[in-house]
Amino acid sequence: MSIKLVAAAAVSLLALASPAFAQDSNLAAREIMTGSYATAEQKLLNQMRLDQRPELQLNLAAVYYATGRVDEARALYQQVLQKDDVPMTVTTDRVAGSHAIAQTGLRYLSQRQHIASR
């Protein structure tokens, strides 16, 4: 069963996995796209108190990544990988699993840390 999502604009110049965008506005994708990270974070944390869906965790990881909180983003990506892989529609014509999105996020975090250590 696919969770209906639509990709939003890239969160960073490194093209980290885009925020998930659902029919409702609870996933905070609009806030992520506009750089309202504090608002997005609050919305996501509030919703995650009730539900730990992968798309919420992936969006919160995107917020953490965009705000330089690499360890927190990494922890969320790893939590997603510990759950069942959930297919997500990331654009109108592309589906990706939650695991693939989390793995991509982890790769970008590794690249970011490698670049920062130079």
Spell out where the chain has E strands: 87-91, 94-97
User: Taking the chain, what is the end-to-end CA distance rounded to the nearest angstrom?
Assistant: 43
pLDDT tens track, the chain, 118 positions: 333 232 232 233 223 444 554 444 457 888 998 999 999 999 999 999 998 999 999 999 999 999 999 999 999 999 999 999 999 877 778 889 999 999 999 998 988 665 666 5
All residues at 6 or more sequence positions from 73 whose CB lies less than 8 Å from its CB, including other chains: 61, 62, 64, 65, 105, 109
CA distances from 4 to 12, 62, 90, 91, 112 (A): 23, 19, 8, 9, 30
The model's pTM is 0.76
CA count, 13 A, side-chain hemisphere, 81: 14
Predicted confidence at residue 1, as pLDDT, reads 30
